[in-house]
Amino acid sequence: MALLPKRTKYRKQMRGVVKGNATRGNFVAFGDAGLQTLEPAWITGRQIEAARIAISRAVGKAGKYWIRIFPHKPVSAKPLETRQGSGKGEPEFWCAVVKPGTVLFEVGGTTTDLARQALAKAANKMPVRCRMVERQHKIG
């Protein structure tokens, strides 16, 4: 199952530049442990789906997991062996733009050891370096 938006206002987007650290979505909000990026990147819908399957198999029915990112950005490409010119290519795939510090996935309701294993398997599917972060329990 491919992750992509149902509708968008515009079919194609410019590439943009990923600068700075994440100020939103940079802490564990739902589960007990999370997978946090250490580098900026575009993470494709297929990579997110591969990590989701890895987490779901590792956690099983014992716990719950959350996906904190969604691929909103269309990435276009021209077909191979096409002459230059004649406009921009069609959208090839969708990706999520992440900054360093973004929490990608969260796991809850399991032991710390099982959460660590599940997030390690998900980290292997990611194109960036990641680390596991624990929830900072807030009082009040």
CATH code for position 116:
3.90.1170.10
Residue 129 lies in a domain: yes
Residue 70 lies in a domain: yes
| Model-wide pTM > 0.85 | yes
Across the range 5-11, mean pLDDT stands at 95
Would you state the pLDDT for residue 98? 97
pLDDT of 40 over the 80 cut:
yes
Read out DSSP for 32-50?
SEEEEESS-EEEEHHHHHH
Residue 94 has which token pair?
């969708």
d(CA 37, CA 77): 26
d(CA 7, CA 14): 17
Domain range for 51 is: 42-78+89-134
Would you state the pLDDT for residue 139? 55
pLDDT of 140 over the 80 cut:
no
Residue 124 lies in a domain: yes
Residue 34 lies in a domain: no
Across the range 24-35, mean pLDDT stands at 95
Residue 33 lies in a domain: no
Give the model confidence (pLDDT) of 86-127 as tens digits. Answer: 999 999 999 999 999 999 999 999 999 999 999 999 999 999
Distance of alpha carbon 115 from the chain centroid = 17
59 three-class SS: helix
CB 73 within 8 A of CB 13: yes
Give the model confidence (pLDDT) of 50-82 as tens digits. Answer: 999 999 999 999 899 999 999 999 999 999 999
pLDDT of 1 over the 80 cut:
no
Would you state the pLDDT for residue 138? 63
Q: How many domains does the chain have?
A: 1
122 three-class SS: helix
